[in-house]
Chain A
């Protein structure tokens, strides 16, 4: 890690000690949760080139699994988290095996369909999810007698996990599996000519990506204590894809920063002190439009998104030409 990265990590973890208020800490905790999800999507979409418009559903599966196991069945927090991650990984694998035979737009449509199916399931499986009323009373994270029940401790838990995941993801993209993912993003026939098992790499990337979303879902459920189906709809999936597009291909920091910005945009009214009520509401109403227009604008200006890496701009030419 470079010194800049260490300073950034320390700064993120120092926020609760700098006297930030409870509301701001909660918002920033959501940013941490979204960081975890977008990391997984950056690996899958930004590096391996496989789009998913269904990541909100994996987020939801993780959240509901964890919430149900800990509140209805009373299982310990760590068990609930492990089960949530495991089940989401299985769901990711089950979607990936048939889904990754599809490419590009078809894969996007299939994962979008999966998200819609799960949205209905979250509402209809009332016994487990509480339907439209949601599922409340999810206990705070606890290990033995120690319970994390203050906004500051929850913030530190979520961001601690997010930073560990960020370091892990950074290691993956620099090592052999990361190179394989980038290779198949460029050309699948070329990758298999190099001895890369293309479908296996795709399935593993998708499973890992879903598992990260499931972990985020679990942390989210225990942090807010109440979950309902609207959180896990297509809107979030689209926001995540937009963040990876804005953040740029083959970048982790880019999508993370973009997702943080898109998340904070929704809480603009409460975060900017001088902002009038009307202005804040207007921004909130226009969030999807702002996101869409920004994506279109960026794609027109820079077809590969912003690169947040210190890299000289190299003219892109067809690698296969």
Chain B
């Protein structure tokens, strides 16, 4: 069986500035993979290139063995890839129900899928007729994930789901990852909070300066001194940045 998502030798950037160099990664069905790295290490750029928001300079992206390099995002959705964008990008004035319906725009609305999403996030059922902008931050993140699930994805890209949320809400959201794994959905998780991400992930990749510099099982990465020094942060008063590590 081919990998759910396979990225081979991907180069991507903005205009003439190359940000991601020669990045390769793979995710199996039902696997949660964390993509770690400090600010500016290229994780979001890599995710954008995979999601079709940015055309890769070189390399290939494959979904279940099918080449989808440079395919625009609206067509990737019908190929089984869903993106939960950074900053959530909800439709604020539209109701929760309308937001969820738009998640199924490309693939067609299925009642059972809606029921499953609402079972996953029960708090949304009570808010269906409310504008999305009136939800709390945590509820908005749940809606963003729920909206992505409406297209019945087999691969899901999650960009910074914990951003700006209270720790208790974050743990609720991360518990959902375990549900997704049990349903066989492959998840790529980009996260600033490396400790948290590795706690929920099966494997992890560490990026620095636009390259993938380390990969391995999540448990190993959590114990690895280099990763702890670089990304888990607790050893020094402040988190070292890319610039500190280069010198």
Q: Which residues of A contact B (CB under 8 A)?
A: 176, 179-180, 182-183, 186-187, 189-198, 249-250, 314-321
Contact = CB atoms under 8 A, between A and B. Distances in A.
Nearest to A198: B74
Interface string B206-230: 0000000000000000000000000
Instruction: Describe A's contact surface by its main secondary structure.
Output: loop
Contacts of A321: 137, 140
Interface stretch (B20-28, B85-93, B231-239): B85-93
A187 B93 contact: no
Q: Taking each of B51, B102, B103, B151, which has the highest tally of chain A beta carbons within 10 Å of its own beta carbon? A: B102
Given A195-B105, A196-B105, A320-B89, A186 B134 contact: no
A318 to B, nearest CB: 7
Given A194-B77, A321-B137, 13 more contacts: A189-B53, A190-B88, A193-B85, A194-B151, A195-B77, A196-B102, A196-B105, A197-B72, A317-B134, A319-B131, A319-B140, A320-B87, A320-B89
Contacts of A250: 93
Nearest to A320: B87
A284 B73 CA distance: 52
Interface of B: 51, 53, 72-78, 82-85, 87-94, 98, 101-103, 105-107, 130-134, 137, 140, 147-148, 151
8 nearest CB pairs, A to B: A319-B92, A195-B106, A190-B89, A195-B77, A186-B91, A319-B133, A317-B133, A197-B74
Contacts, number: 100
B89 to A, nearest CB: 3
A316 B135 CA distance: 11
Contacts of A191: 91, 102
Q: Taking each of A176, A193, A249, A317, which has the highest tally of chain B beta carbons within 10 Å of its own beta carbon? A: A193
Contacts of B91: 182-183, 186-187, 190-191, 319
Nearest to A315: B134
Contact of B72 (A186, A187, A192, A320): A192
A230 B107 CA distance: 48
A137 to B, nearest CB: 49
B105 A189 contact: no
A251 to B, nearest CB: 12
